[in-house]
Amino acid sequence: MALNVSQAFNLFKSKLELSQSFKEEVTIHHNAIREWIESYDSTIETKLIGSLQRKTRIQPRSEDVFDIDILVILGSFYSWVSSGGIKPEDALEKVEDIVSEHGTYEKIGVETDNPTITFEYEDNVKVELVPAYIDQIGKTIDGTPTLPVGRGYWIPKNNRWVMADYDYDAEYITSANKNSDGYLIPTIKMLKGTKKIYFQI
């Protein structure tokens, strides 16, 4: 029996969703490293970012590497390097040192891949940790206004600090998905799936 458009849409969407077993595997991986970092230093917070935060991930193929993006919030950003603030490379080194203190991750192999600290499990799951500081300045080093104080994050990239607004991005996608009666996120997943098959770069 031929499927109507709605049925075909839902069938395609269901095939892109993460399987329950893979969801559990991913959850175990990101919980383990987040718990280690936060137990190592109780002042540090972690949170998922990227497509896991936006709920736009799709089931990987067997040959795909599945990235878990995690923000590692080291504190608040009050001053630039010239005024006694932390250097971008110091933030990366701090996160790498914390991860490497755990024997399991040290054996896997922890690397700095600016702006992230990375390691990869044997099951093709790669963890990417992004060091970050909560913005308490509200402007760039040359005085250009950025986001409202406390909203964005400064992350190290190419030996300088750049602004990121992960929470707003995720909230925007969630709101837009709601306004589209739940069709936006499935459509994004479908486009991702199509790109993987037909438009690989």
Cα separation values, 87 from 82, 116, 155, 181, Å: 9, 15, 11, 45
Q: Which residues contact 168 (CB under 8 A, 6 or more apart)?
A: 151
Q: What is the CATH number of the domain that holds 111?
A: 3.30.460.10
Q: Is the pTM of this model over 0.85?
A: no
Instruction: Encode pLDDT of 88-111 as tens digits.
Output: 999 999 999 999 999 999 999 999
Cα separation values, 53 from 26, 46, 151, Å: 13, 12, 17
**Number of independent structural domains in the chain:** 1
Range of the domain at 133: 5-198
CA distance 181 to 28: 31
Instruction: Encode pLDDT of 42-75 as tens digits.
Output: 999 999 998 888 888 877 877 888 899 999 999 9
